[in-house]
Amino acid sequence: MSCTSVVYCLERVLNLNDDYRQVFQVQGPSVLLMMVAGHTLLLPNRCPHQGAGLHNASLSSGVLRCPWHGIECALSTGRALNAPCANIEF
């Protein structure tokens, strides 16, 4: 049996704190590593609407607001809240 999983170390745990955000490029599209309210999140750094980078999105009460057109997505589910749009895929 062979192992096909690959593990990448993106950040040292001691560097993670609330409001941490960093973009990484790992074999393809960029990903956004965030820490929010003690939870570490890894998501595509791409708004599901038209692809804006989410690294500059505003964050309030667990809702990420895209800087381009203002679509808001719940970080708990990825669901778009204020417009018909695809969800963030975690």
Toward ligand FES, which CB reaches closer, 20 or 68?
A: 68
**Token output for 26:** 């790992």
Size of residue set near ligand FES by CB under 6 A:
10
C-alpha span between 34 and 6 (Å, rounded): 21
C-alpha span between 11 and 7 (Å, rounded): 12
Is 69 a residue that touches ligand FES (CB under 6 A)? yes
C-alpha span between 88 and 79 (Å, rounded): 6
User: In one letter, which amino acid is 33?
Assistant: L
Is 66 a residue that touches ligand FES (CB under 6 A)? yes
**Token output for 41:** 């999140």
Within residues 32-61, the interface with ligand FES by CB under 6 A covers: 47, 49-52
Within residues 3-22, the interface with ligand FES by CB under 6 A covers: none
Which one of 55, 68, 74, 81 is in contact with ligand FES (CB under 6 A)?
68
Binding residues (CB under 6 A) for ligand FES: these are: 47, 49-52, 66, 68-71
